Amino acid sequence: MYLLQLLYFHTVARKEHMTRAAEELHIAQPSLSKAIFKLEEELGVPLFERVGRQIKLNNFGKAFLNRVDRIFIELEDGKRELSDMLKNEKSTVSIAANNVGPFFKLIEGYLKLYPNTIFRQTIGSTVQMQQQLLNREVDLCISSPPIEGDFIECITLATEEIFLIVPNGHKFAEYKEINLLEAANCPFISLKEGFGIRDLTEKLCHHAGFKPNIIFETDVSANLMELVNANMGVALLPILQWNDTQQNKSVPIRIKEPVCNRKMGLSYIKGHYLTTASMQFKDYLIVAAELKWHKADGIA
């Protein structure tokens, strides 16, 4: 069995179309078909179901693809490790995050220690971030809820209390605390479905006994505070998204019932090679969360 055979199989498995796979591989379709047939002969089982021009992975093919995926991941990790040894990665840290606002202070502190670090951040839904992590498109994920899975290591960095944020002048603005059920008739503002804070909003409201009337949804978390400040509605947010510059426009109200908090987690793939920069930043986050996050930065 040769690596080229595995590359051919991997491409056909992704495309599930022999002609398109051949075009991507820049080889003739008959040659590709012959190579797949020889691989199946060598393995002693068919890997695809063929119906006319259609080709789909069968159970043997799916099982074999899982193993082949790992081979190519290991090869890619090997290339990255060698590149890292040659210092060609320029200290790049790739992160997927749905809310890194509270961590900007930590990133600022890290850059003082390692000023040449380059951060590359992507934002997406919980499912999108998990897939980016599994596909090795990013090294680390900072998210709420924490990204978890069979091949994922997850460490809780912080637990944040969730408040009902209302515009100044709202009927609840003078309240010190509230039962969430009292806000059942309020218009809510939240992120789009699939994002952590949206899922949490629906979950908490459900626990309180009602379905939130979400009148405006966005995929940019910074817009939530702007919309609350514009008196468009109320929102469920961690206190850290509500800062001193907005105190004259919006008010955070502590929720008595139900218990409202969320966990912020750091996730990465078990056994996946991390560049020196990514490993250093991971360790820095963990130590900072343990020593500083709950104390010096006032996170609850």
Q: Where are the domains of the chain?
A: 3-85, 92-157+266-293, 158-262
Superfamily of domain 92-157+266-293 in CATH is Periplasmic binding protein-like II (3.40.190.10)
Residue 47 to residue 12: CA distance in whole angstroms:
11
The CATH number corresponding to 3-85 among 3.40.50.150, 3.40.50.280, 3.40.50.1370, 1.10.10.10 equals 1.10.10.10
Residue 134 to residue 78: CA distance in whole angstroms:
17
Which range scores top for mean pLDDT: 46-50, 81-85, 163-167? 163-167
Q: Which of 14, 275, 283 is nearest to 138 (CA)?
A: 275
Q: Is the pLDDT of residue 296 over 70?
A: no
Which pLDDT value is given to residue 217? 92
Q: What is the pLDDT of residues 114-164, one digit of tens each?
A: 888 888 888 888 888 998 888 888 999 988 888 988 889 998 888 889 999
Residue 96 to residue 76: CA distance in whole angstroms:
19
Q: Is the pLDDT of residue 215 over 90?
A: yes
Average per-residue pLDDT for the chain: 83
Which pLDDT value is given to residue 156? 87
Q: Is the bond preceding 258 in cis, omega lying within 30 degrees of 0? A: yes
Residue 288 to residue 110: CA distance in whole angstroms:
10
Residue 60 to residue 136: CA distance in whole angstroms:
24
> pTM score, two decimals?
0.64
User: What CATH code is assigned to 158-262?
Assistant: 3.40.190.290
Q: Which of 277, 111, 267, 98 is nearest to 196 (CA)?
A: 98
Fold match, 92-157+266-293 / 158-262: yes
271: left (phi over 0), alpha (psi -120 to 50) or beta: left
Pure H helices in 114-193: 126-134
Looking at residue 171, the DSSP 8-state letter turns out to be T
Q: Residue 170 has which token pair? A: 């709202």
